[in-house]
Structure 1
Amino acid sequence: MLTENLTTPESELRDGRSDGRSAGLDRAIANAKRRLLALQNPAGYWVFELEADCTIPAEYILMMHFMAEIDQGLEAKIAHFLRAQAGSDGSYPLFKGGAGDLSCTVKVYYALKLAGDAPDAPHMRRARHWVLRRGGAAKANVFTRIMLAMFQQVPWRAIPFIPVEIMLLPKWFPFHLDKVAYWSRTVMVPLSILCSYRVKARNPRGIDVAELFSTPPNLERDYFSQVKTPLGKAILLLDRCGRLLEPLIPGFVRRKATSQATAWFTARLNGYDGLGAIFTAMVNAYEAMDYLGIPADNAERRIARAAIDGLLVVKADKAYCQPCVSPVWDTGLAVLALQEVDRHDHEQSSRRSTDTALRWLAGKQLRDQPGDWQTQRPGLAGGGWAFQFGNSYYPDVDDTAVVAYAMSQAETPAFAEPIRRAADWIAGMQSRNGGYGAFDADNDHYFLNQIPFADHGALLDPPSADVSARCIMLLGRLDGAHPEYSATIARCVAYLRAEQEADGSWFGRWGTNYLYGTWSVLLGFAEAGVSANDASVRRAVAWLKSKQRADGGWGESNISYHAPNSRGEFDTSTAFHTALAVLALLAADETGAPEVAAGVGYLLNTQQADGGWQDDCFNAPGFPKFFYLKYHGYDKYFPLWALARYRNRQHGLARAR
């Protein structure tokens, strides 16, 4: 809660003036804009590091040993990075400041041991004791146990039954690839080959981690202790029956299924961007290609490995691997921030930068390429954008809304067709309940989250408030000229009203967390024509104001995904969350509120000499409760966007509609 005596260094803000002419505010915006423009690639895009927890760099080391393709210099740099991320108790968290995670710690321990760290080294001893106090590696999650099975550290009965024959199941069957999320499909298909044939890691140094088990792995009888619900236990029984019956599967059936799985993932290898353009799917595909006998000098196999290596961030003394890259998302959001600045500044050099960025984005629109979404929406014409440089089978609804919105603000005739195609595609991807998923429509077969493979609870891509809000942000902007979107918008607004939490906030599926979700919806509501006096908006405003910290900022930890009562709260403010809160309040016509002025003051106070801000926290989930991310661009363009919009509202510059 904002304290009454909070002040900012800007006299105009301190005295309550709202004419927006603060020289300090102008200077802060100019410095932040200069820094953001300096980070633009000459081709027109922005792409910032996308950091995940330590599972991804650990898995890169594990992949090198699985394949016996070990780059010792790179391995040493990744190991150096991993050691520095350990908590004081030796464990590894899923996000900075979080509690230790068993599966992450097991993977890092194994990776470091493969890299040559001695088990009796202090950091290894602390990690091992921490793992054993929590039941040992047998209690790790499914993905970790699959890795351990391939390295021959646990028996194959320790993992779920993942037969390649899933490729042959009819669509009416309770499980089908079309019923799970895009990331699940791209991970599972090559993985089903590895698991069906029980492929063994080469592990050339013969490194084991027997010391991480409380009970010898072959004697362990409780690998699925996490299955608690009656439905989960019933499915687990079927899983075990399937494994018992596996020897009865005719050889020709397995060969046919393997052929279909191979054809499926090789069709989606996606060149230098990789299968699904996500690390785990890319590694599974690369290892499956090796098992299938595709030679090392095969062009597709070499490109598949190059795609994985393209995710590395290598510095002088350390390295880590990203889960994917985010150029389309970063570029769309950076353009929105600069457009807000230029509504006041009218600088030709900056306009040229945003125009170059938008033209680069226009060239990335996915129009006639095949996509998995077409099985859900036959006949719907393509028009989306991927999240990454290339991911033709999987355009991203959220990215598409942001990019098309930025194009609509440019008011350039050349963008009219890309905008229309994007809006039509988004309208056609609406789910039955009125909301939007990130990649799929009606991907809400929730019972599948009970299968043993899905212990991460993220097998599906159901609608979420944040993505849905971005969709009506675009469609609402276009509604005046395209009334055909009105019914779509109305259904989505109704969905969002139903999703509002009792305290007035909205859940953030793709950004941390309730602050992100509430920001998303209030911006969407403003464009969709929902009045700032609407009861749902007023509840959200009250919630936002109640979460402001004494320093004028806002902050939220990923802990709120695990403990919802902590929503909107953190032990420190961040520039990212403060920017979200300011933007959300401005969308609700709260320009003159003292909370907004104080939030702006926090951003001015914390800006660094180079014009940027520095947030150390992880600011988004990949999968809530399971996998978290840090977008390194969020503390660069969101604060600039918030400061520029505040200045524009103070000047009375209306949103371009």
Structure 2
Amino acid sequence: MLKQATTTRFDAALLGSLKDSPLDEAIARAREKLLGLQHAEGYWVFELEADCTIPSEYILMMHYMDEIDAGLQAKIANFLRGRQSADGSYPLFQGGQGEISCTVKVYYALKLAGDSIDAPHMKRMREWILAQGGAARSNVFTRIMLAMFEQIPWRGVPFIPVEIMLLPKWFPFHLDKISYWSRTVMVPLLILCTYRVKARNPGKVDVRELFVTAPEKEKNYFSHVKTPLGKMVLALERTGRMLEPLIPSSMRKKATQRAHEWFTERLNGYDGLGAIFPAMVNAYEAMDYLGIPPDNEQRRVALESIKRLLVINEDSAYCQPCVSPIWDTGLVSLALQEVDRYEDDPALREQIRHGLRWLASKQLHDEPGDWQVKRPGLSGGGWAFQFGNSYYPDVDDSAVVAHALIQSGEQEFDENVDRAGAWIGGMQSGNGGYGAFDVDNTHYYLNYIPFADHGALLDPPTADVSGRCAMFLGKLAKQKPEFRPVLDRCIDYLRAEQEADGSWFGRWGTNYIYGVWSVLLAYETAGVSTDDPSTRRAVAWLKSKQRSDGGWGEGNESYHDDATRGDFHTSTAFQTGLALIALLAAGEAESPEVKAGVDYLIKHQQADGFWKDQCFTAPGFPKVFYLKYHGYDKFFPLWALARYRNDICSVA
């Protein structure tokens, strides 16, 4: 139905003039290349690269457990050496400033792998670390690793006893008050920290040379705690540490058992605890401490789930933080649906349908999930981000997938769409917005406790996720008017979140360009007029950020320095695609800015049909952890070009 409703508006003469044009040829090359990457089961999945912390932690895990694969270690070490900055440091994203915690972990990993401390790259790294104040200035997670490897005393890390598992829900800190990723990482970590577990470290490798003050004499491990609330919590924590000997052994045993049962229930098979690397490693190491033998089936599967995150090439290897097949397949489907609006190609439509059927098969039903704590009785209907993560469906992914399903016009997906709508509607927070996994996860004071020095303990509503939800709800409300109030509340939230300059913050993608893309697509499907003042401010902001080459680009620096929002040292294909889609959604098909952006993409397309962005494309956690989605420079430019072709045909 959707296809007929749109293609009949296309101008026949213009269709003929576009045939074999540079635009048409660019779309054809990208389309064919992308279709060739579809897996036999129907999905697409691209590499998901993080900074060098994750591959370093893989080497550290092997030495912690004394399960060292020398060949794999050598390949990961090659990868790490090739990512070092000129000053010796390691950044959180390509081209960024050096970050001490990441650099400390890389140094330790390479030393464990056998690199001499006198090697030039190690010397540069060490000098840089010492110039920043030494390894004692590392973040909490790095200091916990150093404590487990007996490099610093346990007083150098926050006191996080396993008895946290027994706290009542009304207590200021409770697992239900923090995000899904924090819960899955923290619960097995409580066991490791409570029992001060020691790494096997068969080579007894140390890194004392990374400390300005001897670690046992260091008194300023918590110098980063500066707020009154943080200092108060730190004082309470130190009191708790002193009182620890008074904790009854029966209480400790009960709390340990509860933590063990909690993460065991959520081990998630070959997809792993939370389907994220840090949680999976913590669980694997906790299982070892708890005496679960290597030949135990759950422990064996837990290790295999970690190994499946590896990307192994001929001379190098790295470990992904997780995998993104649902997200990738949903976005690819939207891009190809845009292509098919013009081409009306049965073969293309069948490949799209194949992907959508795979997505439909991955919809979660009524498996238990932590989100049900906030929404008891709400039936499942969402999708995970990864191949499997039944406890933690992702609201963002669910909205993208449901949008692709409803946009297909295929009746076979009606039930999937209905269940997704009910679930997404039920996951709305009180302010009208949406978080990625949780509802009303807004206990902001918890970001000030010493353990949360990364500032990413929570999952509050954000404009970009809310935009994707409104994008889907806008389609659904046209068929089911009962969803209109949910949509209206979400649109009101988005209006309130707009920045003074007209942009929106992008929590899960870099950054304000991503935020504007998210919201303007939502406005379009929700029926917000292209003349609406909010839309016009966003359009003006986007146009003001276009670069002289016709493209757009924004770096992750905008998460650290607000003055750099929308700016980067170069244009990128994926952000040019995002900006174009946003402008087209706002009715700007005939603007010179859109034409210049399209020309940029055509000019910078590679011979293989794709584009090549070197930069990292998204945050895992702003200011702390960044990602490179290897698919973004493949499907976002195609989506933009196809949308432009469709819009100029419709306007003619």
Task: Place the TM-score, normalised by the shorter chain, in its bin.
Answer: over 0.9
CA distance in 1, matches of 2:240, 2:17: 70
User: Aligned residue for 1:367?
Assistant: 365
CA distance in 2, matches of 1:242, 1:513: 40
Which residue among 370, 379, 382 is the counterpart of 2:380? 382
User: Aligned residue for 1:7?
Assistant: none
Q: Which moved more, 1:626-635 or 1:493-502?
A: 493-502
CA distance in 1, matches of 2:240, 2:347: 64
CA distance in 2, matches of 1:602, 1:74: 40
Shift of 1:22: 6.4
Shift of 1:586: 0.3
User: Aligned residue for 2:352?
Assistant: 354
Q: Percent identity?
A: 70
- CA contact 1:327–1:389 (8 Å) conserved in 2: yes
CA distance in 1, matches of 2:433, 2:19: 41
The alignment yields a C-alpha RMSD, in angstroms, of 1.2
Shift of 1:506: 0.3
- CA contact 2:15–2:649 (8 Å) conserved in 1: no
Q: What is the 5 A alignment of 1:186-205?
A: 186-205=184-203
Which residue among 604, 616, 619 is the counterpart of 1:618? 616
The superposition leaves residues 222-252 of structure 1 with CA deviations (integer Å, 9 ceiling, x where unpaired) of 0001111111110111111111111110000
User: Aligned residue for 2:85?
Assistant: 87
Residue identity opposite 1:561 in structure 2: Y
CA distance in 1, matches of 2:642, 2:465: 24
User: Aligned residue for 2:576?
Assistant: 578
- Which sections of structure 2, spanning at least 5 residues, go unmatched? 1-13
User: Aligned residue for 2:258?
Assistant: 260
CA distance in 2, matches of 1:21, 1:38: 22
Shift of 1:34: 0.2
Residue identity opposite 2:108 in structure 1: Y
CA distance in 1, matches of 2:348, 2:524: 27
Runs of at least 4 residues off by over 4 Å? 16-22
User: Aligned residue for 2:5?
Assistant: none
Match status 1:537 vs 2:535: yes
The superposition leaves residues 575-634 of structure 1 with CA deviations (integer Å, 9 ceiling, x where unpaired) of 000000000000000010000000000000000001000000000000000000000000
Q: Which secondary structure state, in structure 1, belongs to the residue aligned with residue 614 of structure 2?
A: coil
Q: What is the 5 A alignment of 1:640-651?
A: 640-651=638-649
Which residue among 427, 431, 435 is the counterpart of 1:437? 435
Shift of 1:500: 0.6
Q: What is the 5 A alignment of 1:111-190?
A: 111-190=109-188
Shift of 1:17: 13
User: Aligned residue for 1:638?
Assistant: 636
The superposition leaves residues 387-439 of structure 1 with CA deviations (integer Å, 9 ceiling, x where unpaired) of 00000000000000000000011111110010010011001000011100000
- CA contact 1:20–1:648 (8 Å) conserved in 2: no
Q: Cα distance 1:227–1:487, how it changes in 2: closer, same or farther (>3 A)?
A: same
CA distance in 2, matches of 1:98, 1:19: 45
Which residue among 493, 505, 517 is the counterpart of 2:491? 493
Residue identity opposite 1:504 in structure 2: G
Q: What is the 5 A alignment of 1:45-444?
A: 45-444=43-442
Residue identity opposite 2:259 in structure 1: A
Residue identity opposite 1:93 in structure 2: P
The superposition leaves residues 103-148 of structure 1 with CA deviations (integer Å, 9 ceiling, x where unpaired) of 0000000000000000010000000000000100000000000000
User: Aligned residue for 1:6?
Assistant: none
The superposition leaves residues 46-80 of structure 1 with CA deviations (integer Å, 9 ceiling, x where unpaired) of 00000000000000000000000000000000000
Shift of 1:18: 13
User: Aligned residue for 1:462?
Assistant: 460
Q: Cα distance 1:415–1:285, how it changes in 2: closer, same or farther (>3 A)?
A: same
- CA contact 1:54–1:104 (8 Å) conserved in 2: yes
Shift of 1:20: 5.2
Q: Which secondary structure state, in structure 1, belongs to the residue aligned with residue 478 of structure 2?
A: coil
Residue identity opposite 2:378 in structure 1: L
CA distance in 1, matches of 2:346, 2:361: 22
Q: Which secondary structure state, in structure 1, belongs to the residue aligned with residue 479 of structure 2?
A: coil
CA distance in 2, matches of 1:335, 1:316: 31
User: Aligned residue for 2:4?
Assistant: none
- Which sections of structure 1, spanning at least 5 residues, go unmatched? 1-15
Q: Which secondary structure state, in structure 1, belongs to the residue aligned with residue 59 of structure 2?
A: helix
The superposition leaves residues 282-337 of structure 1 with CA deviations (integer Å, 9 ceiling, x where unpaired) of 00000000000000000000000000000000000000000000000000000000
User: Aligned residue for 2:35?
Assistant: 37
Residue identity opposite 1:268 in structure 2: R
Aligned residue pairs total: 639
User: Aligned residue for 1:27?
Assistant: 25
Q: Which secondary structure state, in structure 1, belongs to the residue aligned with residue 311 of structure 2?
A: strand
CA distance in 2, matches of 1:237, 1:592: 62
Shift of 1:653: 8.0
CA distance in 1, matches of 2:605, 2:204: 50
